[in-house]
Amino acid sequence: MNKRDHVLNAVLLGIGLGFVAHPAGDLQTVTTVAAVLVPVLLGALLPDVDTELGHHRKTLHNVFVLAVLYGYTAVFANLAFVWIGVVTHLVLDVLGTRRGVAFLYPFWDAELGLPVGVPTDSAYATFVTLVVTGLELAAAAALLHSFPGVLGLVDAPSRLSALAGTVGV
Rounded Cα distance between 34 and 39, Å, is 9
Pick the range with the lowest mean pLDDT from 34-38, 44-48, 78-82, 142-146: 78-82
Decide if 62 is inside a domain: yes
Please tell me the total count of domains within the chain. 1
Residue among 152, 68, 56, 167 nearest 111 (CA): 56
Decide if 96 is inside a domain: yes
Decide if 9 is inside a domain: yes
Is-contact 77 160, C-beta < 8 A?
Answer: no
The pLDDT of residue 161 is: 52
Decide if 14 is inside a domain: yes
Rounded Cα distance between 147 and 112, Å, is 28
The identity of residue 103, as a single letter, is F
Is-contact 86 47, C-beta < 8 A?
Answer: yes
Decide if 51 is inside a domain: yes
**How much is the average pLDDT of 78-94?**
86
Decide if 148 is inside a domain: yes
Decide if 167 is inside a domain: no
Q: What is the pLDDT of residues 26-64, one digit of tens each?
A: 998 998 898 889 899 999 988 888 777 778 878 888 888
Confidence of residue 145 (pLDDT cuts 50, 70, 90): confident
The C-alpha torsion from 157 through 158 and 159 to 163, rounded to 10°, is: 100
Burial of 70 (0-12, 13-18, 19+ CB in 10 A): middle
Most confident stretch, 65-69, 113-117, 139-143, 165-169: 139-143
Decide if 169 is inside a domain: no
**How much is the average pLDDT of 114-135?**
89
Q: What is the DSSP string of 57-85?
A: TTSSSSHHHHHHHHHHTTT-GGGTTHHHH
Domain range for residue 13? Answer: 3-162
